[in-house]
Amino acid sequence: MDSIVVTGNGPLSGDIPIAGAKNACLTLMPATLLSEEPLTLMNAPRLSDIRTMTTLLQSLGTEVTALQDGHVLALSSHAIDNHCADYDIVRKMRASILVLGPMLARDGHAVVSLPGGCAIGARPVDLHLRALEAMGAELDLRDGYVHAKAPGGLKGGVVDFPLVSVGATENALMAATLAKGTTVIKNAAREPEIVDLAECLRRMGAQIEGDGTHEITVQGVDRLGGATHRVVTDRIELGTYMLAPAICGGEVTCLGGEKRLVSAFVDKLEQAGIDVTETERGLTVSRRNGRVSAVDVTTEPFPGFPTDLQAQMMALLCTAEGTSVLEEKIFENRFMHAPELMRMGAKIEVNGGTARVTGVDSLKGAPVMATDLRASVSLILAGLAAEGQTTVNRVYHLDRGYEHVVAKLSGVGAKIERIKEA
């Protein structure tokens, strides 16, 4: 397996371009199943998860063409000839469940494998199924697959989520666009990716109000058309690269960044002693003199602190002055990066969903192993500030969510290289 070798070598300086959002693009791509007309997505990230979704859609009959070096995806679902999403593809990525709502809404039937397990918790799909049942879907779970049908088409209804779920909100939103009548989605997720999906669906002719709030109202239409849509900036990649100068020192501008996408995260950076300035070019991040200050972090649904930035924030706090408490409220088992950071000299105590991080003067380079996507990049960030050399193994996780990590970080002065397996 490939590994990434990082050698701490001081402050960073320059610009880092931020890609389109992985989580937004993975939701926008299945929206093509709602229409016979073409959907074109601009600013698409070039990631392994995007390739997996492409493979899944192609298996259903969607034509997918990558243009402009993969930054533009042209999708056409004019001839869906397969309504079964097979386990061999779905098991690779939980976002695959997002083809269920669109297929069911358009053609009245779908068979989708239950996604495989996940290293950061069970993340069940019951909320997705509950939403579709509220719109009249008949569901049968057998042999590891969801067999769904709506012979007369989906019907408007009230979807009241007991918990906020981004994926379930997305599935419900797409399905509701073609349901007969009005659907009200209560306790809906408010993430920018939800708003981005709603904007794309409106371009296709959907009637949606309330996205970005906890209650979304959708008036179903008979059909949707084609559209061209630009994928929103990836707020998780943005926050990740904002942490690079925060950890190493120096000044870096994250091109295309906006504070509105990461406001709770920016608040914590500023509390820690990091300067963040918004300009027309993006967000410029610089660290004040001396060590950063300890801060407490609790992950919450948007607009709170993102769970997908918790591991990276922990890397910063490992060298902060004082003790920080990180509380993970979104996913269980999401502190698996902590033992690897401890191999680098970090002082971390984990107790259930809480981690206490006592800052040390400096981290030491060491061989470490990535356990998931966000953990992998947190170890790279830690390596940037560590004394000596850090080797991050099992970086295939990284390719799911970050494109050209080595090029982007080396472009601002980091000493980093990817070692290909023999």
Q: In 10 A of CB 386, how many CB atoms?
A: 26
Active site residues: 118
3-state secondary structure string across 338-375: HHHHHHCCCEEEEECCEEEEECCCCCECCEEECCCHHH
Distance from C-alpha of 182 to C-alpha of 118, rounded to nearest angstrom? 34
| Nearest-angstrom CA–CA distance, 293 and 295 | 6
Select from 257, 322, 326, 330 the least CA-distant residue to 291: 322
Q: What CA–CA distance (Å, rounded) separates 128 from 371? A: 27
Contact at 8 Å (CB) between 44 and 231? Answer: yes
Distance CA 343, CA 237 (A): 25
Task: Output the six-digit token pair for 197.
Answer: 């999906």
Sheet with strand 274-278: strands edge to edge: 12-17, 250-255, 282-287, 274-278
**Residues annotated in a binding site for phosphoenolpyruvate:** 22-23
DSSP class per residue in 155-171 = B--EEE-SS--HHHHHH
